[in-house]
Amino acid sequence: MSRLVFVGRRVLQAIPVLFGITVITFFLIRLIPGDPALQILGQHYTAAAAKQVRHALGLDRPLWSQYLLFLTHLLHGNLGESLFFKQPARQVIEQRLAPTLFLVGYAAVLAAAISIPTGVVSALRRGRLFDQTARVVTLVGFAMPGFWLGIMLILLFAIKVPLFPVSGYGAGFVGHLDHLFLPALTIALGFSTIVVRTLRASVLAAYAADYVDTARIKGISRVAILLRHVLRNAIVSVVVVFGINLAFLIGGTVIIENVFAIPGLGSLLVDSVSTRDYPVVQGVTLLFAVLVVAINLVTDLVHASLDPRVAAR
């Protein structure tokens, strides 16, 4: 019963955050220097057309009224009209959502596959060669630009040794797995550099816990201790660390999509800067933030299901 209450409470807590996101996104367009109408109309600028554009954008109303208009539109799923594609921004964005979600999920899975064993083994073999090597690799990896790593991976595994496609999204589920492997790997490697150290620390902390000593004294085998106590608590920290850093994961897709020419939200965002398509920029930013909130919510719920103490608080 308390679990349900917890879930309900968390969902309710997300709502003001979502509202706040709309406020910040609303203010984004107001950052445009000069007259937005000039930017939007470009070569077709006339005083009369500008007045129309300003009225359509609601720029001639007081600020709070503009925000209400913005919010109302949002609640109806109206993200404005794309200046470049001449379609509703929502349509443009919807078409690009799937590749990004696939990429994020794929990257998360690969990151888990890389960082969990590395973190655990580093902790178990603390101070030894594996740990030291992992530490150096993590150090260098953290300082490495993701786009550079992506380019190097393309050079090595798509050009010199043609194992994977150079770019694109591919067709069909298997095609997506194939085309997105290198980009997902690039994001996963970057992500792992952050996560491995925390994982290592939490495995070490789990080992140091009293009940582990108790278990050892009771004669339970080391493997059983590893699996039952240490890993279980480590997984909790994995979930938490992943959740916290997921914003990084999502941000990473923007530049990786650009390097690997993946038709997702990230490359849409960058393209829209080049075309000064402000409504799309706004819409994509909003969507990314909503994704982060959703992922954080899911993370919290998974965390609670793995560690009942969380819900009981």
Partner 1 sequence: MATPRTSARRLTRLAGALACLALLGAGAAAAATLRGARSHANLDTFVLANAVKIDTLDPAQNSVNESIWLDQNIYSRLLQPNATGTKLLPDLATSWKITNGGKTYTFHLRAAKFSDGTPVTAKDVVYSIERAKALKGGWGFLLDAVKSITAPNPRTVVIKLSRPHAPLLADLAMYAYSVIPASSKSKGAAFFNKPVSSGPYMVTSLNKDSELDLSLNPYWYGKKPSIKHIKVLIVPNDNTRVLLLQSKKVDAIENPPGNLIDQINKYPDLKADLFPSTRVDFIQLDEHFAPFKDRNVRMALNYGIDRNAIVKLAFSGHAIPAGSFMPYKMLYWDPKLKPYPYDLAKAKAYLAKSKYPHGFKCFLIEVANDVSGNATAVVIKSELAKLGISVDIRTYELLTAYAKEDGGHSEMGQRYWTNDIIDPDEVATFAADSNGGAHAFNTYWVNKKANALVEKARGELNPKKRQQMYYEIQKILYQQSPFLVLDYSPYRYAQGRWVHGFHVNPLGAYNLSLLNMTVASH
Partner 2 sequence: MSSLASPSELLFDRLQARSRRRGRHLRRYGSLIAGATILSVVIVACLAAPLLTHYNPDTLDPLHPLAGPFTPGHLLGTDEYGRDILARILYGGRIDLLIAFGATGVTLVAGTAIGLVSGYFGGLIDTIIMRIVDLFFAFPFFVLVIAIVAMLGPSIFNMFVAIWLTSWISYARITRGHTTVVKNREYVLAAKALGYRHLRVMLRHILPNVVSFVLIYAMVDAVGNVLLGAALGFLGLGAKVPSPEWGAMISDGQNYILSSWWLSTFPGLAIVIVGVGFSLLGDGLADLLRTGD
Q: Rule CB under 8 A: which residues touch partner 1? A: 42-45, 84, 106, 109, 112-113, 154, 158-159, 162-169, 173-175, 177-178, 181, 227-228, 231-232, 235, 261, 263, 271, 274-276, 306, 308
Using CA of residue 25, residue 248, residue 156, residue 151, what is the dihedral sign?
A: positive
Indicate which of partner 1, partner 2, none lies near residue 29 (CB less than 5 to 8 Å, by partner kind).
partner 2
DSSP string, 143-162: TS-HHHHHHHHHIIIIIIS-
Within a 13 Å sphere around the CA of 273, how many CA atoms are in the beta-carbon half?
Answer: 8
Binding mask 124-143 for partner 2 (x = CB under 8 A): ---------------xx-xx
Shortest Å distance, C-beta 221 to partner 1: 14
Choosing among partner 1, partner 2, none, which partner's interface includes residue 294 (Cβ < 5 to 8 Å by kind)? none
Among the candidate windows 67-75, 106-114, 124-132, 250-258, which touches partner 2 by CB under 8 A?
A: 250-258
131 binds, among partner 1, partner 2, none (CB under 5 to 8 A by kind): none
Residue 255 interacting partner from partner 2, partner 1, none (CB closer than 5 to 8 Å by kind) = partner 2
Helical spans, DSSP H, in the chain: 2-29, 36-41, 47-56, 63-75, 89-124, 129-142, 146-154, 172-208, 210-218, 222-225, 232-260, 265-274, 278-306, 308-312
CB of 225 to partner 2, least distance (A): 27
**Nearest distance, CB of residue 56 and partner 1, angstroms:** 19
Choose from partner 1, partner 2, none: what does 235 bind? Cβ within 5-8 Å by kind.
partner 1
Instruction: Give the number of C-alpha atoms closer than 13 A to the C-alpha of residue 162, restricted to the C-beta side.
Output: 1
161 within 8 A of 112, measured Cβ to Cβ:
no
Binders of partner 2 in range 148-177 (CB under 8 A): 148, 151-152, 154-155, 159
**Listed residue (255, 289, 277, 268) closest to 32, CA to CA:** 277
How many Cα atoms occupy the beta-carbon half-sphere of 119 within 13 Å? 29
- The yes or no reply on residue 33 touching partner 2 (CB under 8 A) is yes
Instruction: Say how many Å lie between the first and final Cα of the chain, rounded.
Output: 13
Residues 266-285 that bind partner 2 (CB under 8 A): 269-270, 272-274, 276, 278, 281-282, 284-285
Q: Which two tokens stand for residue 104?
A: 């994020």
Write down the least CB distance from residue 237 to partner 2, Å: 19
Q: Is 86 left (phi over 0), alpha (psi -120 to 50) or beta?
A: left
Instruction: Tell me the DSSP string of 27-49.
Output: HHHTTS-S-HHHHHHGGG--HHH
* Alpha carbon distance 152, 165 (integer Å): 14
Q: Which is nearer to partner 1, 108 or 249 (CB)?
A: 108
Binding residues for partner 2, rule: CB under 8 A, are: 16-17, 20-21, 23-24, 28-29, 31-33, 139-140, 142-148, 151-152, 154-155, 159, 247-248, 250-252, 254-255, 258, 269-270, 272-274, 276, 278, 281-282, 284-285, 288-289, 292-293, 296
